């Protein structure tokens, strides 16, 4: 078995000679076989291996198993790292929480001790269980790839070199090699879906077809290749249609709506994977279908809520992914000479006397800027607020226009209208809406000796 294992690892370049490798070892048959195989590989390639073990404290036997593993590593000259899961309530969502705790511990060791590789003992039966569980629960195509043999993790790589072997094959090797291992009694309980798959479903499928595990592996590989193809098609479209702003994403949908349904569907899958999923938002098939329905509607402006206060907002040929605004309607702020204000984390506003530039904070110096010269007759301090219903701006001595009409004429999305700032003189005349329009009242006359300059900066 070792030669098959070693050839597989070298062929896939899982490590290079003289590297440091961290092994996730539970004490079960799978991980103890991995430890044995890697001890032999370490001698061949001058590897430095170490063991990371988590005691979940879910069984009485856990302490003695951890003690054996620690003693074994000491006798073999292998570095040993361990940690106990001290959570008070371990009854809810046990598997997922325990897994998160383990991998956070592994990542911590890798970073502190500079291990570029983490190897786990997942095998072919684990792959079958995982794929069947995802099919049962309902899952996107990308997730049906199952357990990946190699992926990025922490600041290095997570590798599963035993995926080519069945559980039965590992058990036979352990028995033949007299490897000491421990049985986890919780694996016998059918309280967990994975165990029910392991005990009740997979044996039936294996009996139905002895090549079942081989077919599952082949299926996973085909899905991985299909996913790779989809990603290669969607990535350039994402770069063309999607723009990342400081606190939201905008998507141009005019071309997307002309594409086939298959392109639309997988583009949205890719879009969410690149945007909201890293934000911790759980996306399901319902969200995809709602998004597709939304962009098909003829109405120029529509919106839908998704998880964790995020919204999908359609505005003409643009869709925005953003969090619900928490701004307070009608709240006013004031601005005076040499007293700049941060309007938000991404916006800064100041008024200065021309020729006497105000000192800008280092953080805003590279932000996009917009400026407006105003006459010395403008009453200070200026008033800053968001727009209100009925707001009008004087474009000429004879023409005033509603701000809402200006936004409509420009096809300005509602979420941008809500974020726009309105700047008024102290006597409540609107003089400027940064990035949109300014009043004739602000235009300096030739006879003015002192001019003010309004400076608006935004982090796009």
Q: Does the annotation flag 29 for ligand binding?
A: yes
Give CA separation, 193 vs 120, 126, 187, 201, 217, in Å. Answer: 21, 13, 11, 11, 21
Q: Which residues contact 368 (CB under 8 A, 6 or more apart)?
A: 457, 458, 459, 460
Q: Does the annotation flag 330 for ligand binding?
A: no
Which of these, 30, 43, 37, lies nearest to 6 by C-alpha position? 37
How many residues does this entry show for the chain? 460
Is residue 439 a contact partner of residue 393, using CB atoms and an 8 Å limit?
Answer: yes
Which of these, 368, 363, 361, 365, lies nearest to 340 by C-alpha position? 361
Return the CA Rg of the chain: 31
Q: Does the annotation flag 309 for ligand binding?
A: no
Strands 242-244 and 248-252: antiparallel
Give CA separation, 356 vs 58, 270, 318, 337, 451, in Å. Answer: 69, 50, 41, 11, 11
Please classify residue 383 by burial: count the beta carbons closer than 10 Å to its beta carbon, then call 0-12 exposed, 13-18 middle and 19+ buried. Answer: buried
Preceding peptide of 66 cis, ω within 30°: no
Q: Does the annotation flag 26 for ligand binding?
A: yes
Q: Which residue has the tokens 């996306």?
A: 283
Residue 177: count of CB within 10 angstroms of its CB: 13
Evaluated on CA atoms 174, 175, 178, 180, the torsion sign reads positive
Please give the annotated binding residues, written as ranges. Answer: 26-31
Please give the annotated binding residues for ATP, written as ranges. Answer: 26-31
């Amino acid at each position: 078995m070792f030669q098959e294992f070693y050839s597989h690892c070298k062929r896939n370049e899982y490590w290079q000679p003289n590297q440091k490798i961290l092994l996730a070892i539970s004490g079960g048959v799978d991980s103890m076989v991995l430890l044995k195989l890697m001890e032999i590989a370490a001698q061949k390639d001058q590897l430095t291996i170490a063991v990371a073990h988590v005691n979940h404290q879910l069984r009485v036997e856990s302490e003695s198993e951890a003690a054996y593993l620690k003693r074994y590593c000491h006798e073999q000259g292998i570095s040993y790292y361990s940690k106990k899961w001290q959570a008070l309530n371990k009854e809810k969502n046990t598997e997922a929480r325990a897994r998160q705790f383990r991998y956070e511990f592994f990542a911590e060791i890798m970073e502190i001790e500079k291990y570029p590789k983490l190897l786990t003992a997942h095998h072919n039966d684990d792959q079958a269980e995982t794929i069947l569980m995802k099919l049962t629960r309902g899952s996107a195509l990308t997730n049906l790839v199952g357990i990946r043999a190699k992926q990025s993790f922490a600041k290095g790589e997570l590798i599963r070199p035993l995926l080519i072997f069945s559980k039965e094959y590992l058990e036979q090797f352990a028995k033949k090699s007299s490897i000491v291992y421990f049985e986890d009694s919780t694996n016998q309980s059918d309280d967990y879906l994975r165990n029910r798959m392991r005990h009740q479903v997979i044996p039936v499928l294996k009996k139905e077809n002895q090549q079942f595990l081989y077919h599952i592996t082949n299926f996973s590989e085909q899905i991985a290749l299909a996913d790779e193809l989809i990603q290669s098609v969607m990535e350039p479209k994402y770069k063309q249609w999607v723009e990342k702003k400081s606190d939201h994403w905008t998507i141009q949908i005019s071309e997307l709506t002309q594409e086939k349904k298959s392109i639309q569907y997988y583009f949205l899958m890719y879009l969410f994977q690149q945007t909201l999923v890293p934000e911790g938002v759980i996306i399901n098939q319902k969200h995809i279908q709602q998004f597709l329905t939304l962009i098909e509607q003829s109405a120029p402006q529509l919106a839908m809520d998704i998880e964790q206060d995020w919204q999908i907002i359609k505005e003409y040929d643009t869709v925005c992914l953003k969090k619900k605004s928490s701004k307070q309607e009608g709240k006013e702020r004031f601005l005076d000479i040499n007293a700049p204000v941060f309007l938000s984390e991404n916006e800064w506003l100041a008024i200065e006397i021309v020729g006497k530039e105000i000192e800008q904070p280092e953080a805003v110096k590279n932000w996009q800027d917009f400026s407006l010269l105003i006459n010395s007759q403008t009453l200070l301090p200026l008033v800053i607020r968001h727009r209100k219903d009925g707001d009008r701006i004087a474009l000429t001595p004879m023409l005033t226009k509603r701000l809402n009409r200006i936004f409509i004429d420009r096809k300005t999305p509602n979420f941008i209208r809500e974020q726009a700032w309105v700047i008024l003189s102290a006597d409540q005349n609107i003089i400027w809406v940064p990035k949109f329009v300014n009043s004739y009242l602000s235009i300096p006359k030739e006879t003015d000796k002192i001019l003010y300059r309004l400076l608006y900066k935004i982090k796009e």
